[in-house]
Chains A and B, each alone.
Chain A
């Protein structure tokens, strides 16, 4: 039995919109609208979706960087009772020793590292929060962490601008693992990097996960990257999780029409000759007023009456595969019939 590390139940994050003469709250951006997700120890859960679908908000809400406005996020420590971190303040989290367990690596390493701090201080900061070490011990620890991410002692006394993009991202990873966390949210860690450097970072992250027994939440819009690194994938659309399943299963047997569209839209770097793809009409609706019924019905090629009226629930179809679609039984056949696509592997 796999052990859970985080369990999200109906997690919500609404950003208020103020308007009118008295600047009252007139509406809210439903960036995250009731998401149910279990994250197990030692896995790498990839979160994919288009921009504006709430991927990054999920990442931040999960570790309570943005206080969620509703729902619960249960954190299961290694040994002990589960804690609901959704309602906790920053101070409470620090006191309970949870903050250091949950870390994050941001998208753009140029903006997430303080340009006026030496690498030594950037990496030492999270260590100092936890334990009191003498200067020499601290430096030894910082060097050992830098070596883990492929940097060395000679990089200690440098500023972030002296590094290339890939090296900066290594520093950001070093800072995250310095707090000896159990769970790291990786928010598009490679999208600001070139392909050759991206491969280095992906391999580094993968080996760190195995060596330090970490759990990742890997947020990205690049499906082939997520296929390479993740063990399980959650597909999001407009603040909802619409399909979760193990990586191989998702590519072999996707059930949601949106997942089909995403997978068929991946430009394949291998020249195969045949490339039929599902081209969706229009854009993602505004999260201010999400459509009634199934959120995807405005763009779905297989929309029927019930989709406009009722919102489908995320149901388990076996094998760790959950999907939220009224027509999940027939989607694969419909896709093959209309687009002639029968698989993505």
Chain B
């Protein structure tokens, strides 16, 4: 399978009062086309920082220090390094080819704008050119927008070529002429109604006139998903998309994502701390600990035969349907990343820690087919299999 997105040696630091927080330390990850990838880990292990670094939406005092994020939208094309693009080019990618569902729908939606406006905004931002072309064709086909139609037609054809041109910006300050984009806005709203309807919300025509506080938690989450899906992204990043929802609503959202994956989006990166969600929806999984990826591979493989001691401990600490005996817990707590442990970052809590672990940072190695582990102990155990 072709690789869609690769993060290589991604390093992100936060320069805080206390010191430099090394949130991501040479993080490496790759996601294939058409794959649902689950990223799991405890809170504070850098799951959100990872995706925010990939999309370059890290807020100050965070700084991306190094590494590469290679993204190839079509399989087989040369990948582009997202970290080297200009901010303007990056804006064109965010929300278009890569889009993100945020954790807290209440915080992701603007409380003073209508639902319709917020969904239509992504069409206006990324699809103005396409929509203008469509409307030009309509005008040529005989649709009229009043006396100034020929003038609007001329402006729309400019918008079709360069939607951010200065001329159009100037025109939108002049009365009458500023109305050239009304048909574009109408078209965007129509598309918004369309996509909200597709997500299984009853009477979308009415919903678009409402405000976020009028909707329930599950509905708001659907709206956030609608915004993310508006431009048919190649990669959808869901950052704890279902964590704050109830079991029944979570079931609805997960089914929705599953259906959507079949139809439109090519890949999903699902960030969660719920191992159950990963087991049921993902094909591949990556386990993170304190800013590093410690194990990655196929879900069945990693969950049934985990090699890294952290993954093993994490799996035994979750209550299951067939629970036998006491839950095992991991001693100690997540380290302070201002002073990360030397060598392997898990070694102070690791039951299998060896001398080597505190000195040398383990590399991510393929110990079984498609199953990568960063652990000295596992390497010594499995060693010669590959």
Contact = CB atoms under 8 A, between A and B. Distances in A.
Contact of A269 (B246, B248, B249, B315): B315
B108 to A, nearest CB: 19
A82 B164 CA distance: 76
A271 B282 CA distance: 10
B328 A199 contact: yes
17 contacts: A51-B217, A194-B42, A196-B42, A196-B330, A224-B276, A224-B318, A224-B319, A224-B320, A264-B251, A266-B276, A267-B250, A269-B303, A269-B318, A280-B252, A284-B216, A344-B321, A345-B322
Given A202-B327, A228-B323, A267-B280, A164 B333 contact: yes
Contacts of A228: 319, 323, 327
**At the interface, is chain B mostly helix, strand, loop or mixed?**
helix
A265 B252 CA distance: 9
Interface string A212-248: 0000000001011101100000000000000000000
Given A202-B327, A227-B323, A268-B276, A196 B317 contact: yes
Contacts of B112: none
B313 interface: yes
Interface residues of A, number: 40
B311 to A, nearest CB: 12
A198 interface: yes
A280 B248 contact: yes
B286 to A, nearest CB: 16
A196 B327 CA distance: 9
A33 to B, nearest CB: 19
Which of B251, B279, B281, B326 has its CB near the most chain A CB atoms (within 10 A)? B251
Interface of B: 42-43, 216-219, 246-252, 254-255, 273-277, 279-281, 299-300, 303-304, 313-315, 317-323, 326-330, 333-334
Nearest to B300: A271
Which of B280, B299, B319, B323 has its CB near the most chain A CB atoms (within 10 A)? B319
Given A50-B247, A164-B333, A228-B327, A269 B317 contact: no
B314 A196 contact: yes
A262 B273 contact: no
Nearest to B323: A228
B273 A269 contact: no
Given A261-B248, A265-B247, A227 B276 contact: no
A264 B321 CA distance: 11
A223 B313 CA distance: 21
Contacts of A200: 329
B250 A268 contact: no
Contact of B273 (A51, A195, A278, A284): A195
A275 interface: yes
Interface string A164-181: 101100000000000000
A202 B280 CA distance: 25
Which of A223, A225, A228, A345 has its CB near the most chain B CB atoms (within 10 A)? A228
Contact of B248 (A164, A225, A265, A270): A265
